[in-house]
Amino acid sequence: MDLKGKFTHIFFDADDTLWENEQFFRDAEAQFTELLKDYTSPEGVQEMLWRKQEDNIPLFGYGSKTYMIGMTDAAMDLCEGQLPEHIYYGIKKIITDLAFHEFQLIEGVEETLQALQGHYTLVVATKGDLTEQMNKYRISGLSKYFHHCEVMENKDEKNYLELAQKNNLQPEQILMIGNSVKSDIAPVVNIGGVAFHTPHEVVWVHEMMDMPQSDRIIELNNIREVLDFLL
């Protein structure tokens, strides 16, 4: 697919597209499982945590704060309403470590942005807690390549239509690059846009879905390959 000259804007997902994210949540999940090992099996802890996360996301959104609420809710149920002090403070430490983990850019991201800058208007289109996501954006060192960062309420068709309108674009002018089929690929294609899928080896269970069939989806091995289509 020849896309050179057909788009003015390129939208980038952030977590696990520009920088590492999900692996740190998996590490936190493993620590939480170890913390609750005396109450049920590792599979039981994971199932309870996932269930509580799904319950809380519609209420509190995404991010480590919601993760802490989910862990606390899961622990309360597993501990039958009597949350020991060491469990509570253990959860708090897990979330603190998660919030202040070492920052890691995805390999190839910066050189790709350097090559695209000046040819396109580059925009981060992410979702999650506003303060948390904007802090990641600032400490990433990548803001110099981007026009701005959009922290979206969610990433469904409605949100992408709003994103297009906010940036004075038609829906078919949305070009999205991201790792999540559910959030970055399917809704963009559904409104008529084009999506590059940059797979990541670790995928959040909440984001899992089958890849839709469309000639407007381009599968990449790594983010550098977008340059073959855009420059």
Taken in order of first residue, the domains within the chain and their CATH numbers are: 9-19+104-230 (3.40.50.1000), 22-99 (1.10.150.240)
- 71's tokens: 């862990």
d(C-alpha 107, C-alpha 113), whole Å? 12
209 pLDDT above the threshold of 70: no
Tell me how far apart the alpha carbons of residues 191 and 106 are, in angstroms, rounded to a whole number. Answer: 28
Mind listing the pLDDT tens digit for each residue in 111-142? Answer: 999 999 999 999 999 998 888 889 899 999 99
Is the Cβ–Cβ distance between 17 and 223 less than 8 Å? yes
| CA distances in angstroms from 185 to 40, 72, 139, 190, 227, listed in the order given | 37, 32, 26, 9, 18
Which residue did the predictor score with more confidence, 2 or 228? 228
* Residue 153 near residue 127, CB atoms below 8 Å: yes
Q: Which of 22-31, 49-58, 99-108, 222-231 has the highest mean pLDDT?
A: 222-231
pLDDT band per the 50, 70, 90 thresholds, residue 98: confident
Hey, is 102 helix, strand or coil?
Answer: coil
**Residue carrying the six token digits 């920052």:** 103
